[in-house]
Amino acid sequence: MSTLGLYFCREKKGTMYPSFGHVYVKSWSTSPRGEDIKDGEKCILLTPECVTQGELNAQIDRLIQELEQIRALGKKKFAKREP
């Protein structure tokens, strides 16, 4: 399941604003126990609970892979924009 996405807004003809992109969070979770996670603040969790270093490494690798896919998509989108 992809948790990150690319939001791309193509330049509109006749405006001074260029095309731009954002990486955004498509899905997330909150603490399964309902408590605040970090220093009393709410936060978005991008991975499931990892109880071993191997699980944490696998989730980080998955996030890196998602970001690389978004980078490739962004490269295509920016290449297609009108000069």
Q: Which residues are CB-contacts of 31 (< 8 A; sequence separation ≥ 6)?
A: 37, 45
Distance CA 65, CA 69 (A): 6
Domain interval for residue 31: 4-80
- What pLDDT, in 10s, does the model give residues 54-82? 999 999 999 999 999 999 999 999 898 65
Identify the pLDDT of residue 55: 93
What total of structural domains would you count in the chain?
A: 1
How much is the pTM? 0.71
78 by Cβ neighbours in 10 Å (0-12 / 13-18 / 19+) ranks as: middle
Query: Is the CB of residue 7 less than 8 Å from the CB of residue 73?
Result: no
- What is the rounded radius of gyration, in angstroms, for the C-alpha atoms of the chain? 17
- What pLDDT, in 10s, does the model give residues 24-51? 888 766 666 655 555 556 667 788 888 8
